[in-house]
Amino acid sequence: MGVAHNVYVTEGTFGVLDAGEIPVQTADWSNGLAAPMSEGALIAVGIHLGEIRATASSVSGPPPVPADDFWEEIVEVSVYAPTGSLRVESLEHGPVNGLASLSPAGPGWYRLRVHARGRNILPDKTSSEPVEDYLLVAWPAPQADADIVRASERLEQDLAQANKAPKPHPAPPARSSEQEMLRQRLLRAKGRTE
């Protein structure tokens, strides 16, 4: 499947990014491991800062799921690559040289299978030596819902916590600049300002 390379992670994440774009405000963290965005995805790791090992490969179709227990967590998500330049990237140092492109078929949708091992070894700690391993495999495929293929106890706990968290109230609709100017005029007329 390829040779593993070290990836520097910050804030407990690294990316599978298309031309370096990180539209983080669109990230869907609902599966606890791989957060697809409007383009590319972010991958949650166990450590907060330091090095992990990653291997990346692209295939023509879905490979069989490993039968052994080497990979503790396996999640599949759909990832959009508008420029066809999906690469494993450190959010601080950019693309990881030596890891394969994950979008050799060019622009479009890909299925990304993320295999993880070791996320529970040093949770939220710093590690200059890799204690976590990741295998990222992608193939061209239409957009589909995320699929948790194999969950660890940590992933199940993260998902349970996410489901217990209070849901945020929807934001009020954005005002146009004309609406805001009218609102400010009305407030001034009433002797109030904000």
Would you state the pLDDT for residue 155? Answer: 79
Mean pLDDT computed over every residue of the chain: 88
Question: Radius of gyration of the chain from Cα atoms?
Answer: 20
Would you state the pLDDT for residue 153? Answer: 82
The model's confidence at residue 106, banded by pLDDT at 50, 70 and 90, is very high
Residue 98 pLDDT more than 60? yes
Instruction: Check: CB of residue 149 under 8 Å from CB of residue 75.
Output: yes
Domains in the chain, ordered, with CATH? 5-189 (2.60.34.30)
pTM, two decimal places: 0.82
The model's confidence at residue 2, banded by pLDDT at 50, 70 and 90, is confident
Would you state the pLDDT for residue 26? Answer: 97
Residue 193 pLDDT more than 60? no
**Other C-beta atoms within 10 Å of 95: how many?**
16
Question: Distance (Å, rounded) from C-alpha 150 to C-alpha 26?
Answer: 25
Q: In 3D, which of 71, 73, 96, 74 has the Cα closest to residue 8?
A: 96
pLDDT digits (tens, 9 = 90+) for 164-180: 655 444 344 444 555 55
pLDDT digits (tens, 9 = 90+) for 142-164: 999 999 999 988 777 777 766 66
